[in-house]
Chains A and B, each alone.
Chain A
Amino acid sequence: VTGTNPFRFVQRYVETPDGYIWSPHLQKVQNNIQEEILTSLPDFAGGAGMWVEVTVPYVDLVLANPPVRSPAFQSGVPQRLYYQQVIWCDEIMTDDDGVVWYRLNERSGSYGDIFYAPAKALRVITPEEIAPINPDFPNEEKKVVININENVQTLSCFEGNNEVYFARISAGTRSDSQGRPAEKSATPAGTFGTSWKLHSIHMSGGASGVGWDLIGVAWPSFFTEPGIAIHSTFWHNNFGGEYMSRGCVNLLAEDAKWVWRWTLPNVSYDAIEVRETWTSTNRTSVQVIEF
Chain B
Amino acid sequence: MRDFIRLGTIGKTINQSLVFQKALMKNFSLSRREFLKVAAVGAGAAMLPGKLLGAQPGSLLSAPARQKSLQSLLLQDFPNARRLGRVLVGKTEVKARPDNNSATVADLYENAVVPGSGR
Contact residues in A for B31 (Cβ distance below 8 Å): none
| Residue B30, interface by CB 8 Å | no
| Residue A209, interface by CB 8 Å | no
Instruction: Kindly provide the distance from the CB of A236 to the nearest chain B CB, expressed in whole angstroms.
Output: 6
Contact residues in A for B102 (Cβ distance below 8 Å): 20
Annotate A62-77 by CB proximity to B: 1 below 8 A, 0 otherwise.
1111111000000010
A116 to B88: give the CA distance in the assembly, Å. 24
| Residue A5, interface by CB 8 Å | yes
- Kindly identify which residue among A25, A68, A103 contacts B88, using a CB–CB cutoff of 8 Å: A25
- The answer on a CB contact under 8 Å between A20 and B97 is yes
- Kindly identify which residue among A4, A26, A68, A101 contacts B98, using a CB–CB cutoff of 8 Å: A4
Contact residues in A for B98 (Cβ distance below 8 Å): 1-4, 12-13, 15, 20
- The answer on a CB contact under 8 Å between A56 and B94 is no
Chain-A contact segment, one of B4-12, B32-40, B63-71: B63-71
Find the residue from A39, A68, A96, A236 having the highest chain B CB count within 10 A. Answer: A96
- The answer on a CB contact under 8 Å between A56 and B21 is no
Residues on A close to B: CB < 8 A? 1-6, 8, 12-22, 24-31, 33, 39, 56-68, 76, 78-80, 82-83, 92-97, 99, 101, 103, 116-118, 120-121, 235-237
> Could you name 18 residue pairs across A and B whose Cβ atoms are closer than 8 Å?
A4-B100, A5-B100, A16-B94, A16-B116, A20-B102, A22-B100, A26-B86, A58-B76, A59-B74, A60-B73, A60-B74, A65-B53, A80-B18, A96-B61, A96-B67, A97-B64, A97-B67, A99-B68
